[in-house]
Amino acid sequence: MSKAPVRVAVTGAAGQIGYSLLFRIASGEMLGKDQPVILQLLDLPQAQKAVKGVMMELEDCAFPLLAGMVATDDPNVAFKDADYCLLVGARPRGPGMERADLLTANGAIFTVQGKAIAENANENVKVLVVGNPCNTNAYIAGAAARKVGRTNPNNYHGMLRLDHNRALSQLAAKTGRPVSSLKKMVVWGNHSPTMYADYRFCTSNGDSVKALVNDHAWNNDVFLPTVGKRGAAIIDARGLSSAASAANAAIDHMHDWALGSDDWVTMGVPSDGSYGIPAGIVFGVPCECKNGEFKIIQGLEIDEYSREKINKTLGELEDERAAVADMLK
Protein backbone atom coordinates (compact mmCIF):
# COMPACT_ATOMS: atom_id res chain seq x y z
CA MET A 1 0.00 0.00 0.00
CA SER A 2 1.38 3.44 -0.83
CA LYS A 3 2.27 5.78 2.04
CA ALA A 4 0.17 8.79 3.00
CA PRO A 5 1.76 12.09 1.91
CA VAL A 6 3.72 14.16 4.43
CA ARG A 7 3.73 17.94 4.46
CA VAL A 8 7.02 19.75 3.88
CA ALA A 9 7.07 23.52 4.42
CA VAL A 10 9.89 25.43 2.74
CA THR A 11 10.44 29.16 3.30
CA GLY A 12 12.30 31.37 0.85
CA ALA A 13 10.86 29.18 -1.89
CA ALA A 14 11.60 31.75 -4.61
CA GLY A 15 15.26 32.10 -3.61
CA GLN A 16 18.36 30.46 -4.99
CA ILE A 17 18.58 27.69 -2.38
CA GLY A 18 14.87 27.03 -2.84
CA TYR A 19 15.45 26.54 -6.55
CA SER A 20 17.91 23.71 -5.85
CA LEU A 21 16.05 22.27 -2.89
CA LEU A 22 12.43 21.90 -3.99
CA PHE A 23 13.06 19.65 -6.97
CA ARG A 24 15.10 17.25 -4.88
CA ILE A 25 12.46 17.06 -2.15
CA ALA A 26 9.77 16.42 -4.77
CA SER A 27 11.87 13.69 -6.42
CA GLY A 28 12.11 11.77 -3.13
CA GLU A 29 15.77 12.38 -2.34
CA MET A 30 15.00 13.78 1.10
CA LEU A 31 12.36 11.46 2.52
CA GLY A 32 12.65 8.39 0.32
CA LYS A 33 11.53 7.23 -3.09
CA ASP A 34 8.31 5.79 -1.61
CA GLN A 35 7.22 8.87 0.35
CA PRO A 36 4.72 11.24 -1.31
CA VAL A 37 5.09 14.90 -0.29
CA ILE A 38 2.93 18.01 -0.25
CA LEU A 39 5.03 21.17 -0.60
CA GLN A 40 3.89 24.23 1.37
CA LEU A 41 5.85 27.19 0.04
CA LEU A 42 6.30 30.44 1.94
CA ASP A 43 7.81 33.61 0.56
CA LEU A 44 7.23 37.35 0.79
CA PRO A 45 4.26 38.94 -1.04
CA GLN A 46 6.55 40.44 -3.70
CA ALA A 47 8.02 37.00 -4.44
CA GLN A 48 4.69 35.21 -5.00
CA LYS A 49 4.88 35.53 -8.79
CA ALA A 50 8.33 33.93 -8.80
CA VAL A 51 7.08 31.14 -6.49
CA LYS A 52 4.30 30.45 -9.03
CA GLY A 53 6.97 30.11 -11.71
CA VAL A 54 8.86 27.55 -9.61
CA MET A 55 5.59 25.66 -9.06
CA MET A 56 5.01 25.59 -12.83
CA GLU A 57 8.43 24.01 -13.25
CA LEU A 58 7.72 21.51 -10.48
CA GLU A 59 4.52 20.55 -12.31
CA ASP A 60 6.48 20.18 -15.53
CA CYS A 61 8.71 17.56 -13.89
CA ALA A 62 5.66 15.33 -13.33
CA PHE A 63 7.21 13.96 -10.14
CA PRO A 64 5.22 10.88 -9.11
CA LEU A 65 5.77 11.67 -5.42
CA LEU A 66 4.54 15.26 -5.57
CA ALA A 67 1.04 14.99 -4.10
CA GLY A 68 0.24 18.71 -3.85
CA MET A 69 1.58 22.26 -3.57
CA VAL A 70 0.52 25.42 -1.77
CA ALA A 71 2.07 28.89 -2.17
CA THR A 72 1.48 31.56 0.44
CA ASP A 73 2.90 34.63 2.16
CA ASP A 74 1.22 33.66 5.44
CA PRO A 75 3.34 31.57 7.87
CA ASN A 76 0.18 30.18 9.52
CA VAL A 77 -0.88 28.69 6.19
CA ALA A 78 2.61 27.51 5.22
CA PHE A 79 3.18 25.63 8.48
CA LYS A 80 -0.33 24.16 8.83
CA ASP A 81 0.04 20.48 9.79
CA ALA A 82 3.66 20.50 8.51
CA ASP A 83 5.74 17.43 9.33
CA TYR A 84 9.01 19.02 8.19
CA CYS A 85 9.94 22.70 7.96
CA LEU A 86 13.00 23.97 6.13
CA LEU A 87 13.51 27.61 7.07
CA VAL A 88 15.60 28.99 4.26
CA GLY A 89 13.96 32.38 3.69
CA ALA A 90 16.19 35.17 4.92
CA ARG A 91 18.55 37.74 3.55
CA PRO A 92 21.90 36.26 2.46
CA ARG A 93 25.15 38.10 3.18
CA GLY A 94 27.10 39.90 0.51
CA PRO A 95 30.84 40.48 0.08
CA GLY A 96 32.57 41.80 3.21
CA MET A 97 29.81 40.76 5.62
CA GLU A 98 29.97 38.12 8.35
CA ARG A 99 26.93 35.92 8.94
CA ALA A 100 26.46 37.49 12.37
CA ASP A 101 25.86 40.83 10.57
CA LEU A 102 22.51 39.34 9.53
CA LEU A 103 21.40 38.81 13.11
CA THR A 104 19.04 41.78 13.41
CA ALA A 105 17.87 41.68 9.80
CA ASN A 106 16.97 38.01 9.98
CA GLY A 107 16.39 37.34 13.68
CA ALA A 108 12.92 38.90 13.65
CA ILE A 109 11.79 36.45 10.95
CA PHE A 110 12.46 33.49 13.21
CA THR A 111 10.47 34.66 16.24
CA VAL A 112 7.41 34.93 13.99
CA GLN A 113 8.04 31.64 12.23
CA GLY A 114 8.99 29.69 15.38
CA LYS A 115 5.66 30.72 16.93
CA ALA A 116 3.69 29.99 13.75
CA ILE A 117 5.24 26.51 13.51
CA ALA A 118 4.48 25.73 17.15
CA GLU A 119 0.87 26.86 16.72
CA ASN A 120 0.15 25.19 13.40
CA ALA A 121 2.49 22.31 12.58
CA ASN A 122 2.30 18.65 13.49
CA GLU A 123 3.38 18.28 17.16
CA ASN A 124 6.28 16.07 16.08
CA VAL A 125 7.50 18.53 13.46
CA LYS A 126 11.20 18.51 12.53
CA VAL A 127 12.59 21.97 11.79
CA LEU A 128 15.85 22.84 10.06
CA VAL A 129 17.03 26.44 9.94
CA VAL A 130 19.25 27.25 6.96
CA GLY A 131 18.86 31.07 6.94
CA ASN A 132 21.85 32.73 8.57
CA PRO A 133 23.08 33.06 11.22
CA CYS A 134 21.47 29.63 11.34
CA ASN A 135 22.47 28.47 14.83
CA THR A 136 21.09 31.55 16.53
CA ASN A 137 18.07 31.71 14.25
CA ALA A 138 17.28 28.12 15.27
CA TYR A 139 17.74 29.13 18.89
CA ILE A 140 15.31 32.04 18.36
CA ALA A 141 12.73 29.84 16.61
CA GLY A 142 13.04 27.18 19.33
CA ALA A 143 12.63 29.80 22.08
CA ALA A 144 9.52 31.20 20.39
CA ALA A 145 8.15 27.67 20.05
CA ARG A 146 8.90 26.87 23.70
CA LYS A 147 6.55 29.68 24.73
CA VAL A 148 3.70 28.07 22.77
CA GLY A 149 4.52 24.64 24.13
CA ARG A 150 3.01 22.23 21.56
CA THR A 151 6.13 21.15 19.70
CA ASN A 152 9.47 19.80 20.92
CA PRO A 153 12.06 22.64 21.13
CA ASN A 154 14.84 20.06 20.65
CA ASN A 155 13.53 19.56 17.13
CA TYR A 156 14.58 23.06 16.04
CA HIS A 157 17.97 22.56 14.38
CA GLY A 158 20.56 24.74 12.70
CA MET A 159 22.40 23.49 9.62
CA LEU A 160 26.04 22.49 10.14
CA ARG A 161 25.94 19.78 7.49
CA LEU A 162 27.46 22.00 4.82
CA ASP A 163 30.54 22.49 7.03
CA HIS A 164 30.61 18.72 7.66
CA ASN A 165 30.49 17.95 3.94
CA ARG A 166 33.10 20.61 3.15
CA ALA A 167 35.41 19.09 5.76
CA LEU A 168 34.95 15.59 4.28
CA SER A 169 35.89 16.81 0.81
CA GLN A 170 39.02 18.59 2.02
CA LEU A 171 40.11 15.49 3.96
CA ALA A 172 39.48 13.21 0.99
CA ALA A 173 41.69 15.43 -1.17
CA LYS A 174 44.44 15.54 1.48
CA THR A 175 44.49 11.79 2.21
CA GLY A 176 43.72 10.53 -1.30
CA ARG A 177 40.91 8.42 0.20
CA PRO A 178 37.38 8.52 -1.23
CA VAL A 179 34.80 10.60 0.64
CA SER A 180 32.69 7.47 1.06
CA SER A 181 35.44 5.84 3.15
CA LEU A 182 35.54 8.66 5.71
CA LYS A 183 33.57 8.05 8.92
CA LYS A 184 33.13 9.86 12.23
CA MET A 185 33.70 13.45 11.18
CA VAL A 186 32.59 16.12 13.65
CA VAL A 187 32.14 19.87 13.27
CA TRP A 188 31.67 21.58 16.61
CA GLY A 189 29.92 24.87 17.18
CA ASN A 190 28.68 27.74 15.07
CA HIS A 191 28.15 27.81 11.30
CA SER A 192 30.79 30.53 11.02
CA PRO A 193 34.55 30.77 10.54
CA THR A 194 34.93 29.84 14.25
CA MET A 195 33.50 26.34 13.66
CA TYR A 196 35.89 23.55 14.68
CA ALA A 197 36.09 20.73 12.15
CA ASP A 198 37.59 17.88 14.16
CA TYR A 199 38.92 14.73 12.46
CA ARG A 200 40.57 13.21 15.55
CA PHE A 201 37.98 10.40 15.59
CA CYS A 202 37.71 10.09 11.82
CA THR A 203 38.59 6.80 10.13
CA SER A 204 39.02 5.67 6.52
CA ASN A 205 38.57 1.92 6.03
CA GLY A 206 39.61 1.48 9.66
CA ASP A 207 42.74 3.69 9.42
CA SER A 208 43.01 6.78 11.61
CA VAL A 209 42.64 9.88 9.43
CA LYS A 210 44.59 11.90 11.99
CA ALA A 211 47.52 9.50 11.52
CA LEU A 212 47.12 9.57 7.72
CA VAL A 213 47.25 13.39 7.72
CA ASN A 214 49.84 13.67 10.47
CA ASP A 215 50.29 17.39 9.83
CA HIS A 216 49.27 19.76 12.62
CA ALA A 217 50.30 22.86 10.64
CA TRP A 218 48.02 21.82 7.74
CA ASN A 219 45.17 21.25 10.18
CA ASN A 220 45.59 24.61 11.86
CA ASP A 221 46.70 26.83 8.96
CA VAL A 222 45.06 25.29 5.91
CA PHE A 223 42.21 22.89 6.73
CA LEU A 224 40.35 24.86 9.41
CA PRO A 225 40.55 28.23 7.58
CA THR A 226 39.54 26.60 4.28
CA VAL A 227 36.43 24.97 5.74
CA GLY A 228 35.60 27.96 7.96
CA LYS A 229 35.90 30.54 5.19
CA ARG A 230 34.48 28.47 2.37
CA GLY A 231 31.21 30.40 2.29
CA ALA A 232 33.10 33.68 1.79
CA ALA A 233 35.30 32.10 -0.91
CA ILE A 234 32.17 31.05 -2.80
CA ILE A 235 30.63 34.52 -2.49
CA ASP A 236 33.90 35.94 -3.82
CA ALA A 237 33.97 33.53 -6.77
CA ARG A 238 30.27 33.46 -7.68
CA GLY A 239 29.12 36.86 -6.48
CA LEU A 240 26.34 34.95 -4.70
CA SER A 241 26.35 32.72 -1.66
CA SER A 242 26.40 28.91 -1.90
CA ALA A 243 23.09 27.54 -3.05
CA ALA A 244 23.23 24.04 -4.56
CA SER A 245 25.67 22.82 -1.89
CA ALA A 246 23.52 24.39 0.83
CA ALA A 247 20.41 22.70 -0.57
CA ASN A 248 22.32 19.42 -0.73
CA ALA A 249 23.32 19.73 2.92
CA ALA A 250 19.71 20.44 3.91
CA ILE A 251 18.60 17.30 2.06
CA ASP A 252 21.33 15.30 3.85
CA HIS A 253 20.38 16.63 7.30
CA MET A 254 16.65 15.94 6.93
CA HIS A 255 17.19 12.62 5.16
CA ASP A 256 19.36 11.26 7.94
CA TRP A 257 17.11 12.62 10.70
CA ALA A 258 13.99 11.11 9.13
CA LEU A 259 15.37 7.86 7.76
CA GLY A 260 18.44 7.17 9.91
CA SER A 261 22.18 7.77 9.58
CA ASP A 262 24.77 5.10 8.92
CA ASP A 263 27.56 7.22 10.39
CA TRP A 264 28.07 10.17 12.72
CA VAL A 265 26.55 13.30 11.23
CA THR A 266 27.01 16.88 12.40
CA MET A 267 23.77 18.57 13.42
CA GLY A 268 23.27 21.96 15.05
CA VAL A 269 21.03 20.94 17.95
CA PRO A 270 20.02 22.55 21.26
CA SER A 271 22.72 21.50 23.70
CA ASP A 272 21.82 18.98 26.40
CA GLY A 273 24.68 20.38 28.50
CA SER A 274 27.23 17.81 27.33
CA TYR A 275 30.80 18.83 26.40
CA GLY A 276 30.48 21.91 28.62
CA ILE A 277 28.06 23.63 26.21
CA PRO A 278 25.34 25.47 28.15
CA ALA A 279 21.95 23.80 27.68
CA GLY A 280 19.82 25.26 24.91
CA ILE A 281 22.57 26.83 22.78
CA VAL A 282 22.27 25.47 19.24
CA PHE A 283 25.68 23.91 18.69
CA GLY A 284 27.19 21.65 16.03
CA VAL A 285 27.73 18.22 17.60
CA PRO A 286 28.14 14.65 16.34
CA CYS A 287 24.82 12.80 16.20
CA GLU A 288 23.42 9.45 15.22
CA CYS A 289 19.85 9.13 13.96
CA LYS A 290 17.48 6.18 14.21
CA ASN A 291 13.69 5.80 13.94
CA GLY A 292 13.24 9.51 13.31
CA GLU A 293 15.14 10.51 16.47
CA PHE A 294 18.61 12.03 16.82
CA LYS A 295 21.03 11.30 19.64
CA ILE A 296 24.16 13.28 20.52
CA ILE A 297 27.27 11.07 20.61
CA GLN A 298 28.48 11.28 24.19
CA GLY A 299 31.78 10.83 25.98
CA LEU A 300 34.29 11.93 23.33
CA GLU A 301 37.60 13.10 24.71
CA ILE A 302 38.18 16.82 24.35
CA ASP A 303 41.91 17.63 24.44
CA GLU A 304 43.39 21.03 25.23
CA TYR A 305 43.59 22.20 21.59
CA SER A 306 40.01 21.13 20.95
CA ARG A 307 38.75 22.75 24.16
CA GLU A 308 40.29 26.04 23.07
CA LYS A 309 38.61 25.81 19.65
CA ILE A 310 35.26 24.76 21.12
CA ASN A 311 35.38 27.61 23.64
CA LYS A 312 36.03 30.12 20.86
CA THR A 313 33.01 29.10 18.78
CA LEU A 314 30.90 28.82 21.95
CA GLY A 315 31.90 32.36 22.97
CA GLU A 316 30.65 33.64 19.63
CA LEU A 317 27.31 31.87 20.09
CA GLU A 318 26.98 33.23 23.62
CA ASP A 319 27.51 36.74 22.23
CA GLU A 320 24.86 36.13 19.56
CA ARG A 321 22.47 34.82 22.22
CA ALA A 322 23.01 37.97 24.29
CA ALA A 323 22.42 40.14 21.19
CA VAL A 324 18.97 38.60 20.60
CA ALA A 325 17.88 38.35 24.26
CA ASP A 326 15.56 41.38 23.90
CA MET A 327 13.84 39.82 20.89
CA LEU A 328 12.83 36.82 23.00
CA LYS A 329 11.21 38.70 25.90
Ligand X SMILES: O=C([O-])CC(=O)C(=O)O
Ligand Y SMILES: NC(=O)C1=CN([C@@H]2O[C@H](COP(=O)(O)OP(=O)(O)OC[C@H]3O[C@@H](n4cnc5c(N)ncnc54)[C@H](O)[C@@H]3O)[C@@H](O)[C@H]2O)C=CC1
Scanning 66-74, 179-187, 228-236, 279-287 for contacts with ligand X by CB under 6 A, the matching segment is 228-236
Question: Which lies closer to ligand X via its Cβ, residue 213 or residue 232?
Answer: 232
The answer to whether 41 contacts ligand Y (rule: CB under 6 A) is: no
177's enclosing H/E stretch is none
Which amino acid makes up residue 319? D
CB of 182 to ligand X, least distance (A): 20
Of 157, 191, 253, 255, which residue is the catalytic one? 191
The answer to whether 266 touches 163, Cβ cutoff 8 Å, is: yes
CA separation for the pair 69, 83 (Å, rounded): 14
Specify the 3-state DSSP secondary structure of 157.
strand
Residues 249-278 that bind ligand Y (CB under 6 A): none
Query: Closest CB to ligand X belongs to which residue?
Result: 231
Is 233 annotated as ligand-binding?
Answer: no
CA of 206: how far to CAs of 181, 202, 209, 217, in Å?
9, 9, 9, 24
Query: Can residue 162 be called a binding residue for ligand Y (CB under 6 A)?
Result: yes
Q: How far is the CB of 329 from ligand X (least distance, A)?
A: 28
Does 161 belong to an annotated binding site?
A: no
Which of ligand Y, ligand X, none lies near 234, with the C-beta cut-off 5 to 8 A by kind? ligand X
What string of DSSP letters covers 189-239?
A: B-SSTT-EEE-TT-EETTEEHHHHH--HHHIIIIIHHHHHTHHHHHHHHHS
Check if the beta carbon of residue 126 is closer than 8 Å to that of residue 85: yes
Q: Which residues bind ligand X (CB under 6 A)?
A: 92-93, 99, 132, 162, 231-232, 234, 241-242
Q: Which residues bind ligand Y (CB under 6 A)?
A: 11-12, 14-18, 42-44, 47, 88-93, 109, 130-132, 134, 159, 162, 191, 241-243, 246
